Amino acid sequence: MTIQAVRLIGPGVDRVDGPMKVTGTAPYPADFGFPEMAHAALVRATVAAGRIRGLETAAAEGAPGVLAVITHRNAPHLNRGPDTPVWRQPPPPLQDDRILHYGQYIAVVVAETEQQATAAARLVEVDYEQAEPLLELDDPRAEIVTNPWGMDSHRGDVAAGLASADITVDATYTTPDETNNPMGLFATVASWDGDSLTVHDSTQWPHGVRAALAGTFGVPESGIRVLAPFVGGGFGAALRTWPHVLLTVLAARTTRRPVKLVLTRPEMFTGVGHRTRTVQHITLGADRGGRLTVLDHEAKNSIAIEDDNYEPVAADSAWAYACPNVDVRDTQARLNIPVPTSMRAPGQAQGNFALESALDELAYAVGVDPLEIRLRNYAEDQPQLNLPWSSKALRDCFEQGAGRFGWSARDPRPGSMRDGDWLVGYGMAGVSFFWFQPACQARASVRADGTAFVRSSATDIGTGTYTVMTQLSAELLGLRLDQIQFGLGDTDLPFGGLEGGSGLTAGLGTAVRAACRGVIQAFLDTVADDPGSPLRGCRLDDVSAADGYLVRSDDPARRQAYSGILATHGLNELTADGDSAPPAPEEVGMAPAGAFAARFAEVRVDPDLGLVRVARLVSAVDAGRVLNQKTATSQVIGGTVGGIGMALLEETVTDPVSGRITNGNFADYLVPVNADVPDHEVLFVGEPDRFNPIGVKGVGEIGLVGMAAAIANAVFHATGRRVRSLPITLDQLL
């Protein structure tokens, strides 16, 4: 098959914000301050369930520099923040004496300095009436929430499909709690001026924080400004408005002083979410040729006692492959755990591990190549919607990725390949990532000096949004990169969607395109009746933009500069707004497609020590139109590092008696380092997507999905041992 090259919006340019970051001049939330700013420190519960029986704060209140100690006894009523399209806000803090999880905030101490606040917080004494916590998914006392988000799917007759199957796979897979752990500690700085509020916050969605604060404190959104021009990573942890944000704002209102709060690393483990643990049961049935007759996927994951969090683990199995009889369903068990949240590739990371491991097991049971089993069950159309995909090059991902990896050299017999004393294994996985695109708004202005200011309130968590939106604006307006100023991370700017779900590039990019086209139309409207303009009477489709000029397509010699039009008509600038709201699939007759990928991994296993080393990786990705090959490749590699961690290292360990997280620090919570990450080749295939006018798909999540399954499948090929529980540890291989 001939594969058309993916068009790039210019070369893989360096990040436009790179110089600020490497010189330390990029302002992160913790870098901001106000005159007379106070500092806050948190007091956390040391039991997982029960009530506060006694609370002694006198010593803390009398400590040097202390301005206030706020507990449930003196805190005002706080409303629960408004629902969003994908989750509810966590319950507000300090509203009663109940303890729902270890590490829950039970007091906030405000003092003149950070050191004084921290020291005083240690003086707060708490007496608890303890209760036995719910900590395990299989605890019969736990409330079970069924189909919590309406994402369960059914088609065909599963019982009949199973009865007709020649070969079946029936297995249970488990994944642990994991913690997002961005390097940058989350920080909030809040300052009230009457009923007006300014907040600097580590957030992936400034407008979401604004709405949550307005709802919680009962003030108009118009009086709240949230700023997050730079965020030190998030991986989903910064999508929700967490209790520490509310407490910072409350502390500022109580003391009538600006207040800053910076979380500690242990507080990051209990206060800003985590990936939920899962137990997943999969039953696959197939004919003798390996074609699926049934796919049954049931997942149970953990949820906090009083939270509602979107984590459909099994849902995407319904459309990943062609199968006539499908049943996928999710349940949640309410436990005394910190509130979970999205973590890079939410739900999909866990669900894909189970599905792609089960497919690998099916391939061996049928006796066909694991790559071939996926090709035989390829979904040409979206199976649930029965509509053609807006784009899909997964078959090309399989074929090109396998060719680049050298998959054909694989000896199919487990344990048959060696390199000296090391067992060698090849594994692979397919990835079909869900589609998501938030509604966004953008504004574009072209100024008298020929430069442009394009802006939106969305933020950049290190994914390269500043860069690709600058590139896109420059191409659409026909300007150089250094002539574009792109503004982000400020709710005074037009509404921006959340930076998550791999959807912002499409959502914001579509809005930027509309704004840039709108400002070009404004220039054409300005010269519409100008007899001296070569553009007189032109419509939008009659011109192109290049080198600061609008150029007639029918006669490129006839053109006029932006600066010339503005000067002629006595204008300082022209401005236009644009927005994006994706259509319903039924309206356009196609199913919106997220990114697709094929992941290939080579591992080495020491059979005596049980050590696993990832030796080589290839990822072939269908990301639609790639706006910047360098930053897109970086995103895939970064996600892959997280996938290696998921496969081999990462696990948030909770003491089964006390509910305390026992490895809540970077010394004990293991993440991949340079020595764990091998050579990784990334290739992009496919064509521009048809569901948005700029043809893009996000790549922030796709890099993580499938890596755990590819590594686990490679470990089986190397050793003959099937590992169904992550992370893969040496005791499972000895």
Active-site residues: which are they?
A: 701
Q: Contact 317/291 with Cβ under 8 angstroms? A: no
Nearest-5° Cα angle at 630, 627 to 634: 110
* Paired tokens of 195: 């009923």
Round to whole Å and give the CA distance between 318 and 156: 12
Q: Contact 671/645 with Cβ under 8 angstroms? A: yes
What is the DSSP code string of 134-145?
A: P--TT-TTS-EE
* Phi and psi angles of residue 200, each rounded to the nearest 5 degrees, phi first: -100, 130
Round to whole Å and give the CA distance between 621 and 433: 11
Q: Which residue type sits at 66? A: V
Round to whole Å and give the CA distance between 706 and 615: 17
Dihedral of the CA atoms 314, 318, 324, 325 (nearest 10)?
30
Q: Contact 523/452 with Cβ under 8 angstroms? A: no
Task: Write the DSSP symbol of residue 96.
Answer: S
As a three-state string, the secondary structure of 401-461 is: HHHHHCHHHCCCCCCCCEECCEEEEEEEEEEECCCCCCCEEEEEEEECCCCEEEECCCCCC
Q: Which residue type sits at 314? A: A
Nearest-5° Cα angle at 599, 1 to 625: 60
SS3 state at 377:
coil
Q: Which residue type sits at 541? A: D
Which candidate, 450, 40, 2, places its Cα nearest to that of 254?
A: 40
Round to whole Å and give the CA distance between 503 and 482: 26
Which candidate, 311, 328, 307, places its Cα nearest to that of 275?
A: 311
